[in-house]
Chains A and B, each alone.
Chain A
Amino acid sequence: MTFFIEVTISGLLAGIMYSLVALGFVMIFKASGVFNFAQGAMVLFAALTFVRFLEMGMWVWAAFVVTLVAMIVLATAIEWIVLRPLVARPPIILFMATIGLSFFLEGFGQGIWDNQVHGLDCESVLGIPDIPAGWLMEKGLMISQFDLLAAAVAAVSVVLLVLFFQKTRTGRALRAVSDDHEASLSVGIPLRWIWGITWAIAGLIALVAGILWGTRLGVQYSLSMVVLKALPVIILGGFDSIPGAIIGGLIIGSAEKLGEVYLGDYVGGGIENFLPYLLAMVFLWFRPYGLFGREIIERV
């Protein structure tokens, strides 16, 4: 029983890390209707920039701020160069543009930095070692402190995002834009500015996700594949729902770990690659717009 709880908890914690990446998608989809496949490449780019600044001998916080500035510049550039000329095109075209963008960013990020694997040491970056938490050990559970911290960071980010969306002026504007571009333009909301902010926030989320995932996996090309873990999460939760991203992440994370531990032995390992997708498809069969996604009513 303890083992079951341990697996479930570690699955839930991993799920929160997925949610963190998924949040970046949801942010951009809510505000501009773009399904941003390049989120994974942004995670890679942010983590690479961060780790290279660290290696140059910068303090952690200084590197964080500098990388954040770089991500904001990048977000603005994306908005300026890629999205502005594509305004009012069908969403599928925008999606393909972000696929192109993700190729470009992967090449660009590794081109200006390098293709090596960079370790991101947990203790020196986050201030805690990656060992099982002592107070849980006493109860017989082996849960890494790092996982707990990552979950806490993710939870705090979510709370901050929700507060930002619900309580601030810009957040209200963001919600208005996500509801209806034209109506929000007509009441005087500056659309470009709002989109810039959205992409900058997505960049910030990518940076946080990049640091946490980079600590876990090492900063390297495969980091951009984290996006593939986040996709089932968002279709399960619904593209335009922040709570959906969280709950989707929890469901996918725990199902994946439980499946791997309890089914993996029978069918021969590696099922965590496709199990989340099959699970998401089962959910989609009954709720075609995800658990919390807004149902689109189509008219001819």
Chain B
Amino acid sequence: MIYRECGVFKPTYAKDMAIFPIPLDRWGIGVILFVAFIVVPVFPSGLWDKILPWSKDYCLSSIFVLFLIYSLATLGLNLLTGYAGQLSLGHAAFMAVGAYAGYNLSARLEWLPLPLVFLGAGLVTAAVGLLFGIPSLRIKGFYLAVATLAAQFTIEWVIAHVSWISGGSVLGTIDTPPMKILGRSIDTPLEKYLLTLFVVVVLTIFAKNIVRSKIGRAWMSIRDMDVASEIIGVSQFRYKLLAFAVSSFYAGVAGALIAFCYLGSVQINEFELLLSFWILGMCIIGGMGSILGSFLGAGFIVLLPIFINQVVRMTSGVMPSDFLSNLELMIFGGMIIFFLIVEPFGLARLWMTIKDKLRLWPFPY
């Protein structure tokens, strides 16, 4: 009774095709955006410290920004794997491309405004993704998954060894130049958070619209059965490569955000194979083929280590860090298996179930 579609009339086609046709969804999204854009920034930090065990600056710069960036990266992988059905194990490498492209653009072209730096980083990464997407036209399934590992290792090596890209230091360490938008410098945690949030919101709306357009339907047809979709006239060449390009674009922007808004100083080993697997794990836990799932999965994975740390600290005092990292691995691996067995569509499906329940609640008859 609380959440319902009935009584929502759509007298025009435009209303029928609205991005959130149900009023309650619109309200919900509005409240979330309001909290994220207005409430969090103006929330007094003194009160914040009393409620949560971490200070506001720490929350903003270490948890929220990381969550948003991982969500963006997961969203990109979800478009490729969850919607277009092409399993990729090289996502972290594309993030690296974005980070280094963003650095080079802003360091070499100092007049370039920051939004264009992010856009450029995304476009460069999209081009690289397109290149490594070419094998998907010939090979598929596991052969393709392993072939995407080629992207991971090749890109890692190229960035580390070509000094024109990475500045020539051993691990390819780069320090991002200070950020400026319209003459206003962005250096406090709050400003970085707002910048990241803005980019993520814009790209999320973009993704949401892609997947409900012709392109998204073509991707889903390829995912469900590529031979059949080719026969009904969906160009595999165009849409597979487009999926790789768009997915890499998201990864690239996420990588640039990591470099500029999260770490400030990046080394190539931030983007090793393990990160690719973590992002794939977020994708699975959140829900394959779901925009919302990308956020839920990323939130889960970002909060998990913090949560484990807190629980262990509360129950048994100090633990060796070896033990903690092993425990984290076990829980992460166990979670992936658990979700695949119990809920193959991830946390997003849980939300669907809740919605179904809410439709009837509190009068289930």
Q: Which residues of A contact B (CB under 8 A)?
A: 35, 82, 85-86, 89, 91-93, 95-97, 99-108, 110-111, 114-115, 228, 231-232, 234-235, 239, 267-271, 273-274, 277-278, 280-281, 284-285, 288-290, 298-300
Contact = CB atoms under 8 A, between A and B. Distances in A.
A231 B147 CA distance: 9
Interface of B is mostly: helix
A288 B330 CA distance: 35
B9 interface: no
A299 B153 CA distance: 35
Nearest to B278: A103
Given A104-B329, A110-B326, A235-B147, A288 B161 contact: no
Given A35-B142, A115-B322, A100 B333 contact: yes
Contacts, number: 140
B146 A231 contact: yes
Given A99-B277, A111-B323, A274-B157, A106 B143 contact: no
B329 A106 contact: yes
A282 to B, nearest CB: 10
8 contacts: A86-B341, A99-B281, A103-B329, A104-B332, A107-B330, A273-B156, A274-B157, A285-B138
Interface of B: 87, 135, 138-143, 145-147, 149-150, 153-154, 156-157, 160-161, 225, 227-228, 231, 273, 277, 280-281, 284, 322-323, 325-337, 340-341, 344
A274 B330 contact: no
Nearest to A108: B330
Contacts of A298: 227
Contact of B344 (A89, A270, A274): A89
Contacts of B146: 231-232, 234-235, 277, 280
A290 B332 CA distance: 33
Nearest to A112: B326
Contacts of A267: 161
Contact of B149 (A89, A91, A231, A285): A231
From B146, B156, B160, B334, residue with most partner A Cβ within 10 Å: B146
B147 A280 contact: yes
Contacts of B327: 107, 111
A280 B362 CA distance: 59
A298 B340 CA distance: 26
B147 A104 contact: no
A239 B139 contact: no
A99 B336 contact: yes
B340 A86 contact: yes
Contacts of A234: 146
A80 to B, nearest CB: 12
Contacts of A35: 142
B150 A270 contact: no
